[in-house]
Chains A and B, each alone.
Chain A
Amino acid sequence: MARQRKLAVTLRSHPFALLAGAVVLFMSLSISSVQASERTWRKCTEFMQELAEAHRESIGDIEATFEARWNRVLAEVPEGKTARKELSAMAKRLRQNSGLTASQHTNVTRVLDLLDHMPITENDLEYCRNKRFFRNRIETFALAYEEEGDQLLAELEALASLFSLKPDEGVLIIAGHIDGSVESIKLDQDGRLGKALLVGPYRNEEFFTLAKVQAGPHHWDHMRSGMWELNLSFLDTTLDIQAGALNYAGVLSLSMNFSLASAQLDDRAAIVLDKMEVRYPELLRSLPMFNALTPDDPFIEFYLREKAQQNESSANAP
């Protein structure tokens, strides 16, 4: 008790001593806090760099695998005529027009740029407190990039397969547009159970794709969206697929909104030819084109013949 009283007396005698003590205490606490904060930032920066390195590594693996598969697909096209050359040209354009570049920007360049600079704000430190979550998040970018590449490879493989048709196979040009969404549209081969082709899903979009199918008569069977299914037999159209040819099959005009569904098959050969010239000119040069929708319609044959003559004249021009 006596000591306590003495201290109280001392402090009362020296009022600045209390203030000085508080300042010292505050400063020591602050220094300690800054040192801790610096450690946190440094550790977080290190974590981000570690993630960036891992991401670079993943992307490197993905790209190496992609390139190997891409080249393998191109190499597997049978020799002969100009197939390999044509496919290479198509592959180049396919890649240029694909979403791979955009995906690379989103999932690689932008991610690495961020990781290289993070943490930028206090809020970013939160990511370092949830390292597992954030690591998983970064991995999803790599996965998305890989998936984009896989999709492109699948498209290339599908294209490449069109250069190696079996004697009883033809290429069906599937063109259309849909108002609403559809999970799948089914094409059946007449009299051949199980020989079906499913295309889709599509959602409020134009679609234009090529598929390898057995030669012979086919028909659109149905389209499905959730619990809804629209039987397409009312289209009452047989598509007579010719082997070894590109088969024009009209343009599907579909609507699938709630319970309202409709379908129509329009004869739009010029529009399809225009799209083929833009997207698949090499195939158009490599394979004959047949009108599987309205074989009596002379337009496709007329157009292609006139075009060939035109090209021939241009080539022979001095």
Chain B
Amino acid sequence: MRTALSLTMGSGRVNLVVLGFMLMLVVAPLALAQAQNETATEHNGGLKDPSQLTIEDWFADASMSSVALSPDGELVAFLTKEDLQVGTPDGGFSSLEDFGREEGWSNVRWIGPKTLSVERRLRTAYLYAFLGIEAKEGRWVLARSSMIMEPGYIVDPLTKLDEQILFAKVVPENDLPASNVFKLNVFDELGGQLRPEKKLNYFTGEILYWMTDSRGRLTVGVSRKDGVPALWENRDGRRAWTKLWTAPKEQEFIPLRVSDDGKTLWALTDIDSNTMVAVEFDLVEARQRRVLYENAAFDVSTLLFVDGQEAPVAAGYLRGGLLHYEPLSDEGRREVERLKAGFSGLEVHLVDYHAQSGAALLNVHPTAAPGAIYACSAPGECDRLGLEMPGLDGYELAETALLPVDRGSERPLEAFLTLPVKRAASIPLVIFPHGGPIGVQDDRYFSPYVQWLAAAGYAVLQVNYRGSSGYGSTFQEQGLQQFGRAIEDDIEAAVEASLVAEPTLDSDRIVVFGSSYGGYSALMGVIRNPARYRCAASFAGVSDLHLMFTQAATRYDASLREAFIEIIGDPEMQRESLIEHSPVYRFRDIVRPVLLIHGTEDPIVDVEHSWRLYKMLELASADVELNIIDGLGHSPTPSQAQQVLGPVLPFFETCLAGEQTSAQQPAPAEAP
């Protein structure tokens, strides 16, 4: 069984499976070639020194996000920090104020040619805003709007039916979350349309997720009871939905598309495999018809659908930290080849596409750089809408290389080594373990953390240690209950491998920095191997494994407690082990300088973790610095990045300034 829940941060990339749901691939070679040329020019020659950039530059709010093409391919909408922009590359963009990311809005979606939705996450529900726009004096203005605040989600935007959507309202059903589906006209009075008698589904039991066909008909329901997925149907239009199929055990099953004849479902699953595979499911026979693509070493994370074909044409998976597409058909092969041929050396991702007009939105970027968004009105006619992070444009970014790490009889690890742009003869190394530790992975795409450290002259090592996602369930399960143990063995193996692979790395100047589990790993690093690591910086790091069970978030959430027991260990049955692997109770083993940074509003790893370790280290008169940041959560917003990361580089500089001395191991503290 896989556990999706994790202690994570910005450095880790969560499984891409869900992203694949909406992704359709179409390639216009001329357009892509043009985009490639423009982008390549920007990233070659005359590049500026990235060490001039500040933390604010590296962690700046993206200038555009959630880019979406209207269903008729005419208009583009995207979010900025301040507003929602709507328009065309030729005609210019108009601002719809009050709907920017700053106000908490996200996920722009077109629900008609002139109607959009944006959503805002609240504590127990979502606030959806529906915005009807019209052209007025050469500008796009808000003509009408409505809002709804419900726990639920948009099942289908029904773009062919302007101003109508299918909305699933989540309701409790026998103590399990389930949902009812309603067809809403978004500009009519919404409350009345959500009355129970208006729901489209009857006798649906515990169905939470719904799938529609291309005509917006509810076709398949998905439930998950005790982690075991099941599919439901209402064949022949009968009112009652019946359970069609139940998975044999608690496994992943992610349905992505249903055929219009209702007979086939395309999904990703690991039910009969160690890795996530792409399957075709027979809804008539209620069984898996065939495996479309399986990779024994890597999880399939996305399926690509080409317009005009119901079946997926390619399966995508992360290998070596980069997304690879494996064609599933001749058409898919042609599309993937055209994609690769047009953009060798650059990453191209289709953001949105309109089949009839050929309009497309592309995200194009070199591997480790943030993207440029292009709007293509037709093949060969692309305009650059903008850069995701214009403040980094023209600066030389560091490349990230794959570093295979041999583990003897076990499968090799994937680690990633980024060397600084300015290479010194001897390069200090920052070990930067990702959060999680379970179900999260690092990759080679743009990371502001990695680039910021590399720009400061550090090499950066990231490790997809056991427990990371993307390498199959066995590998992921190997990380369970390995806090401070086998996971750290993997990280240490990667450190040694990096020193062998890159002789310019200075083995006497290695520091470790991470957040969440990564922060814990940093602390355990200096506990386990003080001779190797000169100091540790922990942001939002776990310091007391027992506290993970007594902090408020866990005490009030039984399912979270169960998940933590699986990931960390049982606080009752494995009490001694939890104590043994907690930096708080190993404080006398911390003989290297420690920097602790924590937000007062961290809902995942409570600020108490850093306080506990600080109190203990203060008792031991250890070299410790505690930075408590008021109002900060588990990861910094762009405006908080300076406050969080500002002390890190000066701390590293100070701890690396002195001569390397062999750390003395003090007498261990008596166990509590």
Contact = CB atoms under 8 A, between A and B. Distances in A.
Interface of A: 236-237, 253, 264-271, 273-274, 293-294, 296-299, 301-303, 305-307, 310
B555 A299 contact: no
B611 A303 contact: no
Given A237-B555, A269-B608, A297 B619 contact: no
B6 interface: no
Nearest to A293: B550
Contacts of B608: 266-271
Given A265-B552, A270-B612, A271-B608, 11 more contacts: A253-B552, A268-B611, A274-B611, A274-B615, A293-B550, A296-B546, A298-B546, A299-B547, A299-B672, A302-B672, A307-B619
A122 to B, nearest CB: 50
A301 B584 CA distance: 13
Contacts of B606: 266-268
Contacts of B616: 303, 306
Contact of A303 (B555, B571, B575, B619): B619
A65 to B, nearest CB: 42
A305 B672 CA distance: 9
A255 to B, nearest CB: 11
A301 B672 contact: yes
A302 B612 CA distance: 11
B551 interface: yes
B597 to A, nearest CB: 16
Given A265-B552, A270-B614, A274-B615, A299 B669 contact: no
B572 interface: yes
A306 B584 CA distance: 12
Contact of A299 (B546, B571, B620): B546
B194 interface: no
A176 to B, nearest CB: 12
B84 to A, nearest CB: 27
Interface string B548-588: 00111001100000000000000110010001000011000
Contact of B551 (A237, A266, A302, A307): A266
B544 interface: yes
14 contacts: A266-B551, A266-B608, A267-B552, A268-B608, A270-B612, A270-B615, A271-B611, A274-B611, A274-B615, A297-B547, A302-B672, A305-B670, A307-B619, A310-B619
A310 B615 CA distance: 13
Q: How large is the interface on B (under 10, 10 to 19, 20 to 34, 35 or more residues)?
A: 20 to 34
Return the 9 tightest CB-CB contacts between A and B, nearest first.
A298-B672, A302-B672, A270-B611, A294-B550, A270-B612, A267-B550, A268-B608, A266-B552, A270-B615
Contacts of B611: 268, 270-271, 274
Interface in B596-639: 606-608, 611-612, 614-616, 619-620
Nearest to B571: A296
Contacts of A274: 611, 615
A267 B547 contact: yes
B551 A267 contact: yes
A297 B584 CA distance: 12
A47 B606 CA distance: 62
Contacts of A269: 608, 612
Nearest to A264: B552
Contacts of A297: 546-547, 550
Nearest to A277: B615
B579 A298 contact: yes
A302 B556 CA distance: 25
Interface of B: 544, 546-547, 550-552, 555-556, 571-572, 575, 579, 584-585, 606-608, 611-612, 614-616, 619-620, 669-670, 672
B236 to A, nearest CB: 46
A169 to B, nearest CB: 26
A86 to B, nearest CB: 22
Nearest to B551: A267
Contacts of A294: 550, 555
Nearest to A299: B612
Contacts of A271: 607-608, 611
Nearest to A306: B619
A293 B549 CA distance: 12
Contacts of B547: 267, 297, 299
Nearest to B621: A310
A296 B572 contact: yes
Contacts of B544: 299
Contacts of B556: 236, 264
A223 B550 CA distance: 23
A237 B551 CA distance: 12
Contacts of B669: 302, 306
A303 B579 contact: no
A293 B585 CA distance: 20
Nearest to A234: B556
A308 to B, nearest CB: 10
Contacts of A264: 552, 556
Among A236, A253, A273, A298, max chain B CB count under 10 A is at: A298
Nearest to A311: B619
A253 B603 CA distance: 13
Among A237, A294, A297, A302, max chain B CB count under 10 A is at: A302
B665 to A, nearest CB: 18
Among B550, B607, B619, max chain A CB count under 10 A is at: B550
Among B552, B616, B620, max chain A CB count under 10 A is at: B552
Contacts of B619: 303, 306-307, 310
B566 to A, nearest CB: 19
Contacts of B620: 310
Contacts of A296: 546, 550, 571-572, 575
A239 B433 CA distance: 39
A302 B615 contact: no
Contacts of B612: 269-270, 299, 303
A306 B611 CA distance: 16
Contacts of A253: 552
A296 B554 CA distance: 15
Contacts of A307: 619
A293 B551 CA distance: 11
Given A267-B547, A267-B606, A270-B608, A299 B552 contact: no
Contacts of A273: 615
B579 to A, nearest CB: 7
Contacts of A306: 616, 619, 669
Given A267-B547, A271-B608, A302 B555 contact: no
B548 to A, nearest CB: 10
Given A266-B606, A267-B606, A298-B579, A303 B550 contact: no
A28 to B, nearest CB: 73
Contacts of B551: 266-267
Given A270-B611, A271-B611, A302 B585 contact: yes
